[in-house]
Amino acid sequence: MVTSMSDGIEPSTKARESEVIDPRIEALVTELIGRVADKWTMILLEVFEEHGEQRFTQIARLVPDISQKMLTQTLRRMERDGMITRHVHAVVPPRVDYALTPLGSSLSEAFCGVWVWAAANLDRVERAREDFDAR
Amino acid sequence: MVTSMSDGIEPSTKARESEVIDPRIEALVTELIGRVADKWTMILLEVFEEHGEQRFTQIARLVPDISQKMLTQTLRRMERDGMITRHVHAVVPPRVDYALTPLGSSLSEAFCGVWVWAAANLDRVERAREDFDAR
DNA sequence: CGGTATCCGAAAAGATACTG
DNA sequence: CAGTATCTTTTCGGATACCG
């Protein structure tokens, strides 16, 4: 869809739709996918999309399996990538609110299809695994 | 987005949209996302979607950065999950063809939006990072 | 060709303790 | 509360050797 492969000449039997975009762009997109197609990133995007602005501890409660380290790390990276904002309130005890930016929101929407797919195909995958393991 | 409703009563201050789906289903969907939101899985799906049925060595050529080990591993897992088929031809030298199943194809489509997003927002992310690092 | 098996160093994730 | 620092464990990925 987005990748290229700059073949030379061949008439080729198929695979004739996209192709020949700048390999530099290709590499950057792939790097970005590698960054963004991360389990925790996807899950946090989803949490923000569903629950709106949240503070640190609340997020941790909504995602019980994430370690505090990974939560901090993922939030920091998402902030750096422009997905979320981080607002520190000067109160005691401290309060930090995280919220999606429009950019993060748009990515969340792009991932929406994957969530729908997962919910819809859960049982199919389950059965495929059973079939495979039965061999 | 996928999680859902059927809350009981409480008025609550906010966060009144989702909630209270079977936590078992929720956990399974999350596990499946964790499995599927993998860099190499995404990239291999994309390769199959673009280039159709491919044999092992050809895939390796199309994805130069993947190690043989990770390629085998990812293909095996995708086969187990019902995303791809694996056909061994009884010839010498051996020939093994991999191809998307309808299930894999549907996942690939679900991911399509993410690829489009990445290509479209590359520069925005780039600038966000520069801004962040400048602090 | 299309793998599997093994070893190994590097990187990522997890657990725990401490702090402004 | 919202982290950071540190330590341990797991996973990743390259290199190499070997097989049907």
Nearest CA in chain A to B76: A132
Q: Are A32 and B116 in contact (CB under 8 A)?
A: no
Contact residues, chain A, for B80 at CB < 8 Å: 128-129, 132-133
Q: What is the CATH number of the domain that holds B69?
A: 1.10.10.10
Contact residues, chain B, for A38 at CB < 8 Å: 37
Domain annotation covers residue B13: no
Residue A10 pLDDT > 80: no
Domain annotation covers residue A102: yes
Integer-rounded Cα Rg, in Å, for chain B is 20
CA–C1' gap, B93 and D18, in angstroms? 17
Helix (H) or strand (E) run with residue B42 in it: helix B39-51
The residue among B60 and B22 whose pLDDT is bigger is B60
Confidence of residue A18 (pLDDT cuts 50, 70, 90): very low
Cα separation, B43 vs B83, whole angstroms: 13
Domain annotation covers residue B1: no
Q: Report if CB B76 to strand C is under 7 Å.
A: yes
Report the predicted TM-score, pTM, of the whole model to 2 decimal places.
0.81
Q: Report if CB A94 to strand D is under 7 Å.
A: yes
Least confident of A38-47, A50-59, B122-131: A38-47
Question: How far, in whole angstroms, is CA A135 from its chain's centroid?
Answer: 33
Name which of B25, B115, B133 is nearest A1 (Cβ-Cβ): B115
Three-state DSSP state, A48: helix
User: Which whole number is the average pLDDT over B31-59?
Assistant: 87
Residue B64 makes CB contacts below 8 A (sequence gap 6+) with none
Domain extent at residue B55? 23-130
Domain annotation covers residue B6: no
- Mind telling me how many Å the CA of B56 is from chain A's nearest CA? 17
Q: How many CB atoms lie within 10 A of CB B9?
A: 5
Q: How many CB atoms lie within 10 A of CB A57?
A: 12
User: Which whole number is the average pLDDT over A95-117?
Assistant: 93
- Mind telling me how many Å the CA of A92 is from chain B's nearest CA? 23
Least confident of A3-17, A41-55, B57-71: A3-17
Average pLDDT score over chain B = 81
Q: How many CB atoms lie within 10 A of CB A107?
A: 27
Contact A110 B129 (CB under 8 A): no
Domain annotation covers residue B56: yes
Domain annotation covers residue B8: no
Q: What is the pLDDT of residues B69-110, one digit of tens each?
A: 999 999 999 999 999 999 999 998 899 999 999 999 999 999
- Amino acid (one-letter) located at A103: L
Domain annotation covers residue B135: no
Domain annotation covers residue B73: yes
Give the full edge-to-edge strand order of the sheet including A95-100.
A54-55, A95-100, A84-89
Give the residue from B76, B115, B122, B130 with the most A CB atoms within 10 Å of its CB, the best one to mutate.
Answer: B115
Q: Are B115 and A29 in contact (CB under 8 A)?
A: yes
Residue A72, nucleotide of least CA–C1' distance:
D3
Residue B64 pLDDT > 90: no
Integer-rounded Cα Rg, in Å, for chain A is 20
Contact residues, chain B, for A32 at CB < 8 Å: 118, 121-122, 125
Q: Are B55 and B96 in contact (CB under 8 A)?
A: yes
Contact B111 A113 (CB under 8 A): yes
Number of structural domains found in chain A: 1
Residues in a beta bridge with A88: A96
